[in-house]
Amino acid sequence: MAAFLRMQPASGIFMLACLFSILTSATATVLDKGKLVSLDGINYWVGEVNWNWNVSDIVPLTVIRTNVSTFTSGTLNETIASFTASDDVFGLGFLEVIFLQYDGQGQGQIDSALDLHSKIGGNKLTFISSEYQSQPPFVQANLQNSLPNGPYFISPGTGDIFKVFRLYSDHQLAFTEGALSDEMGGFVPLPAAAEGAMTKSIAVPSRLYYTPTIDRPLAGLRCGVKDIFDLKGLRTSGGNRAFYDLYSARNTIGSSIQRLIDAGVVIVGKMGTVQFANGDNPTADWVDFHCPFNPRGDGYQAPGGSSSGPGAGIASYDWLDIAIGGSMRNPGSLQGIFANRPSTGAIGLDHILPLCHDIDTVGVFARNAETWSTTIHAWYPNFTDYQKYPTRIFYQNSSFPGSDTDAGSLLEALVQKLETFLGARREYVDIATRWEETHPNDAPSNLTELLNTTYAILTSVGQYRSLALPFYADYAAKHNGRHPFINPGPLKRWQWGQNNGGDHTYNVALKNRTIFRGWWETEGYGRANLHTWSEGLYIYPYSKGERQYRNVYTSAPTEPPMGFKDGRISNMADVPDFVVPVGEVPYNSTVSFKTEYMPVTMSFVAARGCDFMLANLIRDLQTDRILKPVSTGPKMYP
């Protein structure tokens, strides 16, 4: 229950009910569906945990707070225009009842010429706070608890006021479950659904309820969370139905998500994941859950993984601001959004299903570098905020496509602009050659020989012992010795790890990783610098407009990813790798039979701990229009 509206004491509750009686015959556009309400064709959720109300009808209400000493028609018009432009939950239908709260100095005035009934066709009653001079036809009243600007619903019989959530359809299957805060540090599954084939509803609160502050810089940002993170009050699936059913709702929340909530983020639901954060390919490998849909191009390209749902949600829905995941760069690149893999150890990983404890990280997706940078700064607790930027750019020619290709020309243009921005010239490097010339004496001269199976062993063996074994045991104990179903991808990876040495090879892989990290920080391209923290930036293309149709039958998975490539640097060296959208390239779709477009992205890699510097740099590149925010839907830049 958000607040109570009460008349001035002399008027009494009876008069409040009488005044509201003029509304009950004029609410034809409000269809009472219990706690699911339709107003002017839009579905809203008006229930909340422990709300104790039994009224049969509710009425839309708008709270307007102002410090303008004289409220005029112009003030009203400006307020309505501002609300409409900034909030997707507010609509003109909420002006049926208005509460004007004066927050200025002294006593407020209302322009005698202001006629809300004629100015707003749907307005039937206006309350004014006691700070205004009383004058008909306005009714003086006060709120028992202060409310921010925005749309609400009010019970005519009791004066109870309820927050409003707009329901959106998850038509891209990005979410596994909608969620509402229980206002006690936990969540409840959203018990509402709007129309849509196979889709869930997600409830989002009015943006007008929130104002960012120094202590809460992320206030009001709507956020989805990959379904490997525990949220108090909700079950965790990890993309596996048996896992979801086996374990009850969690009774705690991880420290990483709690930091976001403390900074003001609004969690709206849990989002789809490749099973246990592995590498299933759509569509055949996604057995337990259907793979989320990538909105780019013809809409039938793979979304990447393992944070498939968070990536798809940010690329699809304007009403979602950020999304949290683990494996960030692949879905970020295939859907053309900002995505970061932070330095290892950036934040606590408690109450998160592990892939490999030694290399796991969590990051954030966004469409706008400003929002992305602000979230990174508010979320990660221990980085230094360097303001100067490196003046060296490390460029491996073999990583980039030719500048005569569509993707190559976009990437080359960005590199040239980056050179100008930093006042630097790219330095052509070759990682394999550099390794051969400077590798430690106790390591092979061939880098691929050192790291060919390192990632595969760490993830397959690490997850088998930390997740699979206890899951198998718990499931068997409850189901008479039965084995749970596991998707082809994680199952083959776990089997491969056990067939290739298990725990012994895990320790060897850890040693090899440590050798590479030490080399990268001393002889490689991840050296630190006292003035800019990172001596230089290693850049490489992450996506080049590739097509990965989800209606193609691929080969069955047989083993984890092998080899060493640019994208493995951050996993092996603990360094940040930030993916940014560059542009999009055309292709002839075999689905739509039209020319469609897929994203081109580039990665920025810096020294370990340089996450804030990278976030600042990418934000400033957007400010200078070298990078641009992206839109939702088929095209990044429509």
DSSP 298: T
Residue 411's nearest CA partner among 251, 593, 603 is: 603
Q: State residue 7's pLDDT score.
A: 47
Q: State residue 123's pLDDT score.
A: 79
If you average pLDDT over residues 63-79, what whole number do you get?
93
If you average pLDDT over residues 128-148, what whole number do you get?
87
Determine the Cα–Cα distance for residues 413 and 397; give it in Å rounded to an integer: 15
Convert the pLDDT of each residue in 365-383 to its tens digit: 999 999 999 999 999 999 9
pLDDT at 56 over 60: no
Q: What is the DSSP string of 495-530?
A: HHHHHTTTHHHHHHHHHHHHHHHHHHHHTSS--EET
Poorest-pLDDT segment among 293-307, 547-561, 578-592: 547-561
Helix/strand/coil percent split, the chain, to 5: 30, 25, 50
Q: State residue 531's pLDDT score.
A: 84
Q: State residue 338's pLDDT score.
A: 99
Convert the pLDDT of each residue in 598-607 to its tens digit: 999 999 999 9
First to last CA, the chain: 42
Beta bridge partners, 596, equal 587
| Cβ(156)–Cβ(23) below 8 Å | yes
Poorest-pLDDT segment among 142-151, 267-276, 589-598: 142-151
Q: How far is CA 546 from CA 266, 280, 404, 584, 598, in A?
A: 34, 18, 16, 10, 7
Q: State residue 542's pLDDT score.
A: 99
Strands 577-588 and 338-341: antiparallel
Convert the pLDDT of each residue in 213-265 to its tens digit: 999 999 999 999 999 999 999 999 999 999 999 999 999 999 999 999 999 99
**Which strand (E) or helix (H) includes residue 246?**
helix 241-246
If you average pLDDT over residues 625-638, what whole number do you get?
99
Q: State residue 55's pLDDT score.
A: 41
Structural domain boundaries in the chain: 3-165, 169-191+200-379, 393-576
Average per-residue pLDDT for the chain: 92
Residue 330 has which token pair? 């692949």
Amino acid at 223: C
Residue 56 has which token pair? 């049969």
Determine the Cα–Cα distance for residues 613 and 363; give it in Å rounded to an integer: 16
pLDDT at 51 over 90: no
- Range of 179-183, 189-193, 432-436 with top mean pLDDT: 432-436
CA angle 178, 184, 187 (to 5 degrees): 15
| Domain 169-191+200-379: CATH superfamily, name plus number | Amidase signature (AS) domain (3.90.1300.10)
This prediction has a pTM of 0.94
Determine the Cα–Cα distance for residues 598 and 152; give it in Å rounded to an integer: 41
The alpha helices in 319-396, defined as continuous H runs, are 329-334, 369-379
pLDDT at 437 over 70: yes
Q: State residue 573's pLDDT score.
A: 99
If you average pLDDT over residues 257-275, what whole number do you get?
99
Residues comprising the chain, all counted: 638
pLDDT at 315 over 70: yes
- What is the percent of the chain with per-residue pLDDT over 70, rounded to a whole number? 92
The alpha helices in 278-361, defined as continuous H runs, are 308-316, 329-334
Q: State residue 499's pLDDT score.
A: 97
Q: State residue 537's pLDDT score.
A: 99
pLDDT at 22 over 80: no
**Which strand (E) or helix (H) includes residue 202?**
strand 201-205
Amino acid at 170: D
| Cβ(467)–Cβ(353) below 8 Å | yes
